[in-house]
Structure 1
Amino acid sequence: MRLIYRGANYECNSSALETRETDLLRRHQGAYQRCKTLQETSYPLTYRGVRYTTEQVAEALSSAPALRTPQRLVYRGQQYIKHPNGAIETVVAEKATRVPDTTAELFREVNRVHQENLRRNLHHRLMMAKQQGNQTLVSLLEAESEQLAL
């Protein structure tokens, strides 16, 4: 059968794969079913132009080291640990520690600079409102100045 995918033409030889049932069971939609496996051990496959066989995939999977150590994972900001036996343990966030004095001093300095910027900006806006003769805006800006205690 001739097929086209994203502009690439190719021939599809959809020969039926021969399978056999195994002793393994799987649960699907509440019902147990026997798993099936391929009769032959090696089928030719192609992915993005690279040719390989199912036998090569099985060898690669069997030679991959099994994970024997817990994995620390994060999903949507929540940390959890997945153990080799399949158990999942959520990680409780640690309590905040005391901020070192040097950092606290830095925060105070940043706050001082921020307050100075607010004062300078408000003073500029007040002068511009007075120049334009906008008494409503002048009264609002003076009220804002009192609220900010500048």
Structure 2
Amino acid sequence: MKLSYRGTPYEHEPIALDMAEADRVAKYRGQEYRQRYPRHIPVPQAPLDLKYRGIAYGTYQTPEPEAVDIATHLNRTFANSPSEPLTRHKRFIEAAQLHRANILKRLEHRIQVARSKGDVNLLQQLEVEKLQLVESQR
């Protein structure tokens, strides 16, 4: 494509992108259209062993623990007992218990990662945090 900027002509070759259409249909001035956006393809990075100021670390990906969706869990939990009316207080208690369980699960994952990396200071801090969390549940 031939273009010019301030009288200087130049050739422009647009980059060919893999485009995808959005699932939603939008309407602008009475015309319906689907938004198009470039499809992003994640490029996996090779894991590296690095060192910063004498401290070794790596760029390894650790799997994240699966978080539980509170709304889905509550619906699944209370769907089994339709005769019992749900009160706001019961839902609050159930959500608080589920929230603590998710925090504990994430904390356990962080402890495993700290153990695998051999980070003693972080491991001690996480153990103290876990004790505080367990004591607050009692």
In the superposition, the TM-score normalised over structure 1's length comes to: 0.32
- Name the one with the larger strand percent: 1
In the superposition, the TM-score normalised over structure 2's length comes to: 0.35
Higher relative contact order, chain-length normalized (CA < 8 Å, sep 6+): 2
Higher Rg of the two aligned structures: 1
- Name the one with the larger helix percent: 2
